[in-house]
């Protein structure tokens, strides 16, 4: 059974993991693990772009204000300041790496606008920004001899003193499953970076890929890390609604170019909900669409872009145009049926401004982390920016701290699978997975109530007990690991939602009036015992 040592272990191969690896590589060996192919990540599906201040007439303080307002005044102002100030030079680094951003003839960024932004500040590569960033960074990473990527390897657990039957909050690396051989083995590291992305698969319908199962948040929680603001799960207002298609994202940039939301009767409705109309923050737009659908008993609303020139639509949104065309929708002449779906986790593993968690030698950034930059609702296109800024900060800090291997690293035991049995009962996993998704979608969605949340908690508690029993006696597989993580993520979202006695940002409860007073109260959960 292998036993690997590396200076830095990066869990995840999206923009956070790849950028962190590149920044850490000058200081030691780096191993990146990813549970599917190296390019499969939430980053690869990001369409819109990266928000950053480059335009004449735009100011850093404008971006800060838009972020704080979209976040329902729950953002950490210091974190937002760091995000906005340090973002622009890092975006330029991506350009220098070779990311094919849209540029004006002058060589300046061709900036678009999205919901919640008062100015044009979205740096983009048509409507496939994430894919282009992922492709470019992977190419650069693969040329670096200090970085190794292990594809088809899944995080099982973070290694802590618990595995030595001791107490303490220290990370020594991670136990990892090879999805090809079925072996579980330790990768020991001086510093471990959680960059596993979000958890959209906890809901029935999501823009996230199948791999987005909250592995980082769940494993950090099991290890005793502080978790914050899990109730704030963002539903993207406009995913393509089609009975034969998955939840394909229709980028916010489409509305930035002038697309209009319409109800069944062909009426515009967003001005009734927010003065910014179709460019209101995502939480407002998602609730407005949800309200219009419920009032009329509809499954979707319409996004109309047909008033724009056909050539402009095809040039600006080639991926969206082609995807809709495959499904029989010509967006240059037809309205697009859209519906809100789960999109982005604004909470996560609590981290400071340099990516530290409450566990020593464990850092985190990106969607896995709760840095405080998103507050109660993420501003459009701030996510990729967050990944760049805070992965860079992790590397800067770790390079100065120079962590070392300890005696404890050498004492870490091999994975013990004694007494575990193989099973053919895959229906148990699929049944529990569907139960989790249905429970979360039915009771912990865009609009919530105490009654719904309490029912969700009772059901999730039962599922948790079933998963715990199954996990403790069964040989580990990737589907079982993902199920184990999703039930914990579901529990964390429900418990956090029950704890917030107000409507704020993405957490809207019919039991409490909406409250956007400028105060900051975070929902915090810490596991005091080892779970599962």
Active site residue 356: no
Q: Cα dist. 132→3, 43, 46, 48, 124 in Å? A: 34, 9, 10, 12, 9
**What is the distance between the alpha carbons of residues 202 and 435, in angstroms, rounded to a whole number?**
10
Do 338 and 250 form a contact (C-beta atoms < 8 A)? yes
Strand partners, 339: 239
What are the C-alpha distances in Å from 175 to residues 222, 369, 475, 476, 530? 13, 20, 14, 12, 15
Please spell the DSSP secondary structure of 416-476, one letter per residue.
--TT-B----HHHHHHHHHHHHHHHHHHSSSEE-HHHHHHHHHHHHHHHHHHHHHHTTB--
> Cβ contacts of residue 377 below 8 Å, gap of 6+?
70, 71, 72, 232, 234, 281, 282, 283, 346, 505, 506
Maximum C-alpha span of the chain: 69
SS3 154: strand
Which positions ≥6 away from 297 have C-beta within 8 Å?
none
Q: 516 CB contacts (<8 Å, ≥6 apart)?
A: 72, 73, 504
Active-site choice (282, 459, 484, 504)? 282
Q: What does the alpha-carbon distance between residue 188 and residue 6 come to, in Å, rounded to a whole number? A: 6
| Residues annotated as part of the active site | 282
């Amino acid at each position: 059974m292998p036993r690997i040592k590396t200076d830095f272990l990066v869990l995840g191969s999206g923009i956070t993991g790849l950028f962190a690896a590149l920044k850490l590589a000058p200081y030691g060996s780096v191993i990146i693990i990813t549970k599917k192919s190296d390019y499969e990540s939430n980053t690869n599906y990001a369409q819109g772009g990266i928000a950053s201040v480059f335009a004449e007439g735009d100011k850093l303080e404008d971006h800060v204000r838009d972020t704080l307002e979209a976040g329902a005044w729950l953002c950490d102002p210091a974190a937002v300041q760091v995000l906005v100030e340090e973002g622009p030079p890092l975006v330029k680094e991506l350009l220098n790496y070779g990311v094919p951003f849209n540029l004006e003839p002058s060589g300046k960024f061709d900036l678009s606008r999205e919901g919640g932004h008062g100015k044009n500040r979205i740096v983009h590569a048509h409507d496939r920004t994430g894919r282009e960033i992922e492709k470019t960074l992977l190419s650069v990473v693969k040329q670096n001899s200090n970085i190794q990527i292990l594809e088809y390897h899944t995080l099982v657990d973070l290694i802590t003193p618990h595995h030595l039957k001791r107490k303490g909050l220290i990370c020594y690396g991670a136990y990892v499953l090879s999805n090809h051989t079925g072996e579980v083995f330790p990768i020991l590291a001086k510093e471990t970076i959680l960059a596993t992305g979000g958890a959209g698969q906890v809901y029935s319908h999501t823009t996230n890929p199948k791999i987005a199962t909250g592995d980082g948040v769940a494993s950090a929680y099991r290890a005793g890390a502080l978790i914050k603001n899990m109730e704030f799960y963002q539903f993207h207002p406009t995913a393509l609604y089609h009975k034969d298609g998955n939840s394909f994202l229709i980028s916010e940039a489409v509305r930035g170019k002038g697309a209009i939301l319409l109800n069944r009767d062909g009426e515009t409705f967003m001005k009734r909900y927010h003065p910014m109309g179709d460019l209101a923050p995502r939480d407002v737009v998602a609730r407005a669409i949800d309200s219009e659908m419920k009032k009329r008993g509809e499954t979707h609303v319409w996004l109309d872009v047909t008033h724009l020139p056909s050539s402009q639509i095809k040039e600006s949104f080639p991926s969206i145009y082609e995807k809709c065309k495959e499904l029989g929708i010509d967006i240059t002449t037809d309205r697009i049926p859209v519906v809100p779906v789960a999109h982005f986790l604004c909470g996560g593993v609590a981290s400071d401004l340099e990516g530290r968690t409450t566990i020593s030698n464990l850092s985190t950034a990106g969607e896995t982390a709760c840095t405080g930059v998103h507050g109660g609702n993420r501003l459009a296109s701030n996510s990729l920016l967050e990944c760049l800024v805070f992965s860079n900060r992790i590397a800067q800090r770790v390079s100065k701290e120079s962590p070392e291997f300890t005696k404890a690293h050498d004492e870490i035991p091999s994975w013990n699978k004694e007494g575990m049995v193989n099973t053919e009962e895959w229906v148990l996993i699929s049944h529990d997975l569907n139960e989790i998704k249905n429970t979360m979608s039915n009771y912990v969605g865009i609009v919530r109530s105490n009654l719904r949340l309490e029912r969700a908690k009772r059901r999730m508690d039962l599922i948790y007990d079933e998963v715990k029993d199954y996990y403790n006696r069964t040989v580990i597989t990737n589907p079982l690991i993902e199920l184990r993580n999703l039930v914990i993520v579901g529990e964390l979202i429900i418990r956090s939602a029950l704890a917030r006695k107000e409507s704020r940002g993405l957490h809207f409860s019919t039991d409490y009036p909406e409250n956007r007073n400028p105060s900051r109260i975070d929902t915090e959960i810490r596991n005091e015992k080892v779970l599962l």
